[in-house]
């Protein structure tokens, strides 16, 4: 459920008409709904009531500091995957002792940054990384709290590019080797073993892979505990999918039930790292039709938004709902169109053979469910601007990131000053 609905014949974010924002800030832009972000966080938190749970919002889904702060104000922690995201989480007011640091390639500088800030835990994904962390912590005279990310070798049945829990994926330490690794880790002077972590992929639309992975985690915990490792904390990652089209996805409540059934009696503190589930449906990309072009076999709606603004359709074959901002009459004429951007690539396509109410150049469209992995993945390909992000709260809106124009970016470039 979200708070983007038609009101008085026009799409609104909460009580704010989208066309008013478009008039003021220009298109394209991202628009987020505060009430939707808050609602999704609460629904997820309620699904975990009864468990000892901390929700560490996966900042990479949408890392605008206004979004992070909205969640921090509700009590959320943060899951970060870079020094930059750590800086953002702290700036947005997430307490350091609710921040976990994930990722396969954390540099020594990043590890030092995490230790300096005294965050809750660093999720270790390989033995070389463990060695590096032990050395960095030693040189700083501190002990590093560590969770070991296991790769459970479970297929999450999601898009190949966002599957992370199979043995051929780069993430985590093979579950069959975790006992060896932890045994060695317990001899390292500057490592404190806080627990285990896992994250098997993103946009999961079935609960069964979660269940299989949790069962594997429980088995590993039993073996390690029998060996004297306490493992007070288990980080279960994120990955719960959202409905991009009408398709059904598991509810947070059903996910919570699976967690409780499999892991509820382990007496561990549980961490969760949802990203997409919290912010995905809380954002739309607002765009204007530049031209309607009659091709030989297709009618194209050419937008002012492109793959550089929202890459998910071209990268993951993602299907986002597209709706007119002006509410169509019931029984409005539908036309079959391809919805494309202006970038010089055929991959710059948001939808093919979509039935939309007849639209003209100048009309506004909203590409829905664009709150996660949208703005954060934007680029300036084709020397296009980084578009603004706007946040709505009730009948007010605020520009939470300004448009960054090519002029500004070109200022960072230099002509080489060869002397000859």
Catalytic residue numbers?
Answer: 344
In the complex, the smallest distance separating the C-beta of residue 270 from ligand PLP, rounded to whole angstroms, is: 14
Residues ≥6 apart with Cβ < 8 Å to 280:
61, 242, 369, 371, 372, 373
Q: Does residue 312 interact with ligand PLP by CB under 6 A?
A: no
Output the six-digit token pair for 91.
């700036």
Asked if 316 and 394 touch (Cβ cutoff 8 Å), the reply is: no
> What's CA 356's distance to the chain center, in Å?
29
Could you say which residues in the range 94-113 bind ligand PLP, by CB under 6 A? 102
Output the six-digit token pair for 255.
């996910």
Q: Each residue of 193-214: b (16+ CB within 10 Å) or e?
A: bbbbbbbbbbbbbebebbbbbb
169 vs 348 by CB, closer to ligand PLP? 169
Distance (Å, whole) CA 285 – CA 272: 27
18 vs 58 by CB, closer to ligand PLP? 58
275 vs 313 by CB, closer to ligand PLP? 275
Please choose, from the candidates 397, 229, 396, the residue with its C-alpha nearest in 3D space to the C-alpha of residue 388.
397
Residue 1 C-beta-side C-alpha neighbours within 13 Å: 11
Asked if 133 and 123 touch (Cβ cutoff 8 Å), the reply is: no
In the complex, the smallest distance separating the C-beta of residue 149 from ligand PLP, rounded to whole angstroms, is: 7
In the complex, the smallest distance separating the C-beta of residue 240 from ligand PLP, rounded to whole angstroms, is: 6
- Single out the segment in contact with ligand PLP by CB under 6 A; choices: 68-76, 126-134, 268-276, 380-388: 268-276
In the complex, the smallest distance separating the C-beta of residue 129 from ligand PLP, rounded to whole angstroms, is: 14
CB atoms within 10 A of CB 177: 12
In the complex, the smallest distance separating the C-beta of residue 344 from ligand PLP, rounded to whole angstroms, is: 30
Angle at 179 between CA 173 and CA 185, to 5 degrees: 80
Helix (H) or strand (E) holding 55: strand 53-58
By rule CB under 6 A, what string of x and - marks binding of each residue 289-308 to ligand PLP?
--------------------
Q: Does residue 58 interact with ligand PLP by CB under 6 A?
A: yes
Interface residue with ligand PLP, options 154, 277, 310, 337 (CB under 6 A):
277
25 vs 236 by CB, closer to ligand PLP? 236
Dihedral of CA 147/150/154/155: which sign?
positive
In the complex, the smallest distance separating the C-beta of residue 137 from ligand PLP, rounded to whole angstroms, is: 21
Could you say which residues in the range 189-248 bind ligand PLP, by CB under 6 A? 199, 202, 237-239
Size, binding site for ligand PLP by CB under 6 A: 16
Distance (Å, whole) CA 292 – CA 365: 13
85 vs 304 by CB, closer to ligand PLP? 85
Q: Does residue 40 interact with ligand PLP by CB under 6 A?
A: no
- Single out the segment in contact with ligand PLP by CB under 6 A; choices: 28-36, 271-279, 339-347, 382-390: 271-279
356 vs 375 by CB, closer to ligand PLP? 375
Could you say which residues in the range 350-389 bind ligand PLP, by CB under 6 A? 372
Asked if 390 and 400 touch (Cβ cutoff 8 Å), the reply is: yes
16 vs 59 by CB, closer to ligand PLP? 59
- Give me the residues that bind ligand PLP (CB under 6 A), please: 58, 60-61, 79, 102, 199, 202, 237-239, 273-277, 372
């Amino acid at each position: 459920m979200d708070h983007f609905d038609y009101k008085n014949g026009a799409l609104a974010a909460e009580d704010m008409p989208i066309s008013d924002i478009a008039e003021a800030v220009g298109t394209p832009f991202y628009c987020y709904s505060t009430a939707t972000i808050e609602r999704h966080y609460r629904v997820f938190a309620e699904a975990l009531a009864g468990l000892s749970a901390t929700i560490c919002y996966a900042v990479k889904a949408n890392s605008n500091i206004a979004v992070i702060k909205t969640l921090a104000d509700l009590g959320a922690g943060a899951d970060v995957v870079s020094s930059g995201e750590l800086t953002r989480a702290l700036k947005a007011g997430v307490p350091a002792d609710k921040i976990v640091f994930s990722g396969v390639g954390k540099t020594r500088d990043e590890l030092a940054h995490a230790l300096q800030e005294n965050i809750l835990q660093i999720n270790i994904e390989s033995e070389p990384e463990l060695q590096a962390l032990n050395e960095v912590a030693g040189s700083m005279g501190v002990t590093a709290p560590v969770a070991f990310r296991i790769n459970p070798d479970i297929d999450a049945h999601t898009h190949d590019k966002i599957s992370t829990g199979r043995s051929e994926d780069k993430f985590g330490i093979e579950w069959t080797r975790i006992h060896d690794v932890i045994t060695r880790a317990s001899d390292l002077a500057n490592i404190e073993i806080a627990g285990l972590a896992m994250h098997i992929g993103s946009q999961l639309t079935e609960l069964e892979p979660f269940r299989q992975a949790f069962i594997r985690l429980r088995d590993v915990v039993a073996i390690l505990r029998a060996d004297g490792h306490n493992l007070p904390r288990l980080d279960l990652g994120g990955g719960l999918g959202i409905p991009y089209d009408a398709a059904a996805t598991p509810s947070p409540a059903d996910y919570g039930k699976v967690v409780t059934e499999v892991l509820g009696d382990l007496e561990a503190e549980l961490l969760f790292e949802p990203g997409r589930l919290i912010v995905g449906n809380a954002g739309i990309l607002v765009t204007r039709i530049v031209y309607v072009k009659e091709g030989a076999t297709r009618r194209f709606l050419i937008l002012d938004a492109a793959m550089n603004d929202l890459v998910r359709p071209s990268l993951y074959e993602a299907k986002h709902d597209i709706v007119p901002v002006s509410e169509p009459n019931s029984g409005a004429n539908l036309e079959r169109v391809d919805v494309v951007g202006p970038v010089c690539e055929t991959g710059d396509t948001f939808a093919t053979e979509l039935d939309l109410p007849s639209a003209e150049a100048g009309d506004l469209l909203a590409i829905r469910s664009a709150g996660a992995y949208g703005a954060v993945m934007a680029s300036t390909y084709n020397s296009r601007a980084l578009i603004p992000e706007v946040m709505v709260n009730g009948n007010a809106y605020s520009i939470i990131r300004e448009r960054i124009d090519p002029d500004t970016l070109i200022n960072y470039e230099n002509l080489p000053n060869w002397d000859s």
